[in-house]
Amino acid sequence: MSEMIARNQFLEELISFKDKDLIKVVTGIRRCGKSTLFEIYIDYLKQNGVEENQIVHINLAEKENSHLREENALYNYLISRLLKEKMTYYFVDEVQMCIGWETAIDSLYIKKTSDVYITGSNAYLLSGELATLLSGRYVEIKMFPLSFAEYISAFDDSPNLENRYNDYITKSSFPYALKLSQKKDISAYLEGIINSIVLKDVMKRKKITDVAMLESVIDFTADNIGNLTSTKSISDTMTSNGRKIAVQTVENYLSALCDSYIFYKIGRYDIKGKEHLKTGDKYYISDIALRFHLLGNKSPDFGRILENIVALELMRRGYKIGIGKVGNTEVDFVATTPYDGTEYYQVAFTVREKSTLARELTPLDSISDHNPKFLLTMDNDPVADHNGIKQLYVLDWLLDK
């Protein structure tokens, strides 16, 4: 097994923005590999002529850097390392732990010989006052746990893809989990991630005191990945189960959980009317093994799990995604980019029964435009074309074959 997995997609993004007059902001769930990405990029810089004294790398989550968690202290330390004749490359991990970091980083960024890179584990990093303060001055690089292709690359052997996929969804896509062979160790590791997110990113910032209620919302949302969900339906379901909770409280919890990247909220889009709909969202979890950890083998529903994997992969590839409404039917994903236009994706575990194939093709068939349409399944069959709809083996698609 490889010691360090090459996160080439994200590395290439950093390289493309090197020395550009922008703050590079790497965001993503805790433990998804942001700090390791910095290490890989720093190695790249050193191999390409950047000297050791040009690089400043600190992690504000480390106790020895706790004295820098204040605006002036952080700025004074960083500016003391600035070189006048050469570019200085600054890397600050978990920058949100510094009170007033926005001003410190902005003040550093305006220096002509500084190139600034920061990470954060919460979407709040780029909201509110910061977005105003740094408007037009930063680029966000959205990082995720390992893709299936990255996961495969960590192994030296030629794998059975389906066996490896089963490991991917049960043993976790978090990079460090690959170093853990025992189920109990992986479980303890995932529990640590959840506790860290719940305590540091959600309860503290939202001033939540009822941890049991928050955990119930997490479990409900994890159980319902890929299902149309509303805050009212969650409130009603939990209340009927004896856990009374207000709609506004559910909304507050879900907002914080999405800000911490444990879940991603995907809205609905009317394909014919070309408008975003206000009701009926879906939620997807950042790592399927987290779901197994939370729920055990309760209602695994491998079709919805596969849909979750595809949703993450589309976002990882830079698509904006929505749930497509076509009359009374639904297309799993409407995927758009500014450059490649729109593509439609339907996901099903298997379509080898004629009735199932017909049901999955109907929503795509009813779309009148000529944008690419795909049906992704776990059926390892030759590529098929159904009246312009391309059916692909999803594991090959995940590997971009």
Do 345 and 376 meet the contact criterion of CB atoms below 8 Å apart? yes
User: Per-residue pLDDT for 131 more than 70?
Assistant: no
Do residues 331 and 269 make contact, with C-beta atoms less than 8 angstroms apart? no
User: Of 302, 303, 345, 298, whose CA–CA distance to 320 is shortest?
Assistant: 345
The tens digit of pLDDT for each residue in 258-304 reads 999 999 999 999 898 888 888 889 999 999 999 999 999 777 899 99
Report the alpha-carbon distance of residue 218 to residue 295 in Å, rounded: 10
Look-up of token digits 């490649």: 340
pLDDT value at residue 334:
96
Model pLDDT, residue 77: 98
Measured CA to CA in angstroms, residue 223 lies from 126, 251, 286, 298, 299 at distances of 29, 17, 13, 8, 8
CATH no., domain 8-142: 3.40.50.300
Mean per-residue pLDDT, 373-392? 97
pLDDT digits over 323-368, tens only? 999 989 999 999 998 887 999 999 999 999 999 999 999 999 999 9
Nearest to 144 by CA among 312, 393, 335: 312
Name, in order, each residue with C-beta under 8 angstroms of 48's C-beta and a sequence gap of 6 or more.
none
pLDDT in tens, 166-221: 999 999 999 999 999 999 999 999 999 999 998 888 888 788 889 999 999 999 99
Which contacts qualify for 301-306: CB closer than 8 Å, 24 or more apart? Answer: 301/226, 302/349, 302/378, 303/226, 303/347, 303/348, 303/349, 304/225, 304/226, 304/227, 305/169, 305/225, 306/347, 306/348, 306/349, 306/376, 306/378, 306/394
Mean pLDDT of 152-168: 90
The yes-or-no verdict on residue 389 having pLDDT over 60 is: yes
Q: Hey, where are the domains in the chain?
A: 8-142, 146-401
From CA 135, how far away is CA 226, in angstroms rounded?
34
Residue 381 has pLDDT above 90, yes or no: yes
Check: CB of residue 261 under 8 Å from CB of residue 312: no
What pLDDT is stored for residue 3 in this prediction?
60
